[in-house]
Amino acid sequence: MLMPDEDARPGIKLEFIRRQKGISRKELADKLEIAPGALFNLENGFNPIHFDDALKLGNALDVEPDIFIDESARFCAPGYGEKIRIIRRACDATQEEFSKMIGVTRSTLSCWEAEIGEYHPSSVFYYKLKEIAEEKNIDINRLNSDPDSFIDDYELFLTGDYGKKIKYIRSAYGVTQTEFCNMIGYTSGTSSCNWESMTEKPLRKAYNRIKFVAEAKGIDINKLNANPDYYKDEYSRFVEKNSGAKIRYIRLQYRAFTDDFGKMLGCSGNAVCTWERGQCIMGRQYFDELKKLAEAKEINLESLDDNPDVFKDDYDRFCVTGCGKKLRYIRNICGMSAEKYAEVIGVSRQTIFIWESELVQRGTIRRPGRENFEKIKQVAIEHGIDLDTIDEELAKVDDYEVFCQNGFGAKIKSLRNVYGMSQRAFSELVGVSVETISRWEREGKVRGKIAFPSKERFREFKRLAEEKGVDFLESC
């Protein structure tokens, strides 16, 4: 088949091939599902032939699509947004700055980079982009064929687990997230927190500062990009997860207060507090001494990571959930008023109220301290209360509360019907008066208050239900 000159405009090639194949403009337009006028504009250069258009034309005319693709259309093939972004980043420019360089609005540039709809750079803007690329030693042909080869260290840094990389760099300095942000010129620790959790990416300008402080500690970013665990040593593994809980566990093996433990490590007690609370990472300079203290107590630091429950003592387990309910349960079993219980524990009545109510003060639920807990534990043991099974006992109490809150009268009546008894016969079985059974079933009041069955009677009802093979709370 005869072909037009190789340097001819794509529209001229299109018209030439169409005529050679004996296809009218209307026939081809119908085949492409476009208006004949739109095809006319393509042939006469009024509208450019984009990459997608070239593919459709090649398929309709049974020729190679490359015939209709000029360098502008080739650049605007899918993925052109990333190419534009590469050129912009080579200029170290924001979208606002780069849009002014090429003479478009920021929103237009944003649409190009996001490849939204049919937004492509026109030939005029393509040549501007090409000119800027060449100034930055970016070969357009190579950019078209292999854009990944232009990814710089910033892009590489953001691939994979960049949160782990940032956390490692921060841990090398042994500082809090807030302190790290201050080091790189940010005013809040929120950014570092978001970066490490990978809910937000650091901007290029922030990355340049992160890279600077990393290199100051002898950390090679390229090695870190290739393997985020490249620099991981015993110290890094220790501070990576639950370091505060591990430090506290070691301290408690010495029965030492934070001030005393700080002296053993060569730091202040306040520093130990911030480590244990997770507000700050322990610096490398203290790790060797901590390791010696752990080994003296035959504690393997690596085994703590394999068994996270090892460093949770009875105080941690007591306070983890429902601390207030447990305290109230112990007090009730001991038969003490809040005032008497406070006197025994050695705190104020108001403190007992705050603990049992689990009030939040300064963003934290108030709980007993370790010194108070030892006294609480002693009182519980004296009254035969096992703290290891207190959650199970509370579950039973919760069953009683569920019973009282959800139509207890109907449940008692259903249980009586299961036994096929009258109120009088059932009252004799339970050991109460017929009037009491009647009042319970009606959920009647005494002196203005609903008369609930006691916990002892509730347990009796559950026993009777179990003898009949029914669930008192569910089936009755």
28 belongs to a structural domain: yes
CATH number reported for the structural domain that contains residue 85 in this entry: 1.10.260.40
For the chain, the straight-line distance linking the first and the last C-alpha, in angstroms and rounded, comes to: 90
The answer on 221 and 182 residing in a single domain is yes
Q: Using the 3D structure, point to which of 147, 169, 201 is the last residue of a domain.
A: 147
Given the structure tokens 């005029």, which residue do they identify? 124
Domain membership of residue 297 as a residue range: 237-311
Q: Using the 3D structure, point to which of 177, 212, 232 is the last residue of a domain.
A: 232
Q: What is the pLDDT at residue 398?
A: 62
- Tokens representing 203 are 């901007």
Own/partner contacts of 38-43, CB < 8 Å, gap of 24 or more, are 42/11, 42/14, 43/11, 43/12, 43/14, 43/15, 43/18
Confidence of residue 450 (pLDDT cuts 50, 70, 90): confident
CATH number reported for the structural domain that contains residue 214 in this entry: 1.10.260
Choice among 29-38, 39-48, 376-385 with the minimum mean pLDDT: 39-48
- Tokens representing 141 are 């042909």
Q: What is the pLDDT at residue 100?
A: 94
368 belongs to a structural domain: yes
**Most confident region among 280-284, 370-374, 425-429, 442-446 by mean pLDDT:** 425-429
C-alpha separations of 167 from 105, 174, 195, 360, 390 in Å: 37, 10, 9, 30, 39
CB 324 within 8 A of CB 305: no
CB 287 within 8 A of CB 267: no
pLDDT tens per residue, range 9-26: 878 888 888 888 888 888
Provide the number of structural domains found in the chain. Answer: 6
The answer on 37 and 90 residing in a single domain is no
pLDDT tens per residue, range 330-354: 887 887 888 899 999 999 989 988 8
476 belongs to a structural domain: no
The answer on 164 and 196 residing in a single domain is yes
3 belongs to a structural domain: no
Res. 40: pLDDT tops 80: yes
Given the structure tokens 């207060």, which residue do they identify? 257
Q: What is the pLDDT at residue 30?
A: 86
| Beta-sheet pairing, 364-365 with 449-450 | unpaired
153 belongs to a structural domain: no
Report how far Cα 321 is from the mean position of its chain's Cα atoms: 22
5 belongs to a structural domain: no
Res. 475: pLDDT tops 60: no
pLDDT tens per residue, range 268-324: 999 998 888 777 788 888 988 999 999 998 888 877 766 655 556 677 778 877 888
Q: What is the pLDDT at residue 115?
A: 87
CA distance 326 to 373: 12
- Tokens representing 422 are 């009258």
Q: What is the pLDDT at residue 263?
A: 94
The answer on 258 and 289 residing in a single domain is yes
Confidence of residue 190 (pLDDT cuts 50, 70, 90): low
Average pLDDT, the chain: 83
**Most confident region among 69-83, 168-182, 271-285, 334-348 by mean pLDDT:** 334-348
C-alpha separations of 204 from 93, 149, 153, 180 in Å: 10, 19, 10, 17
The answer on 225 and 247 residing in a single domain is no
195 belongs to a structural domain: yes
The answer on 304 and 241 residing in a single domain is yes
Q: Using the 3D structure, point to which of 361, 395, 429 is the last residue of a domain.
A: 395
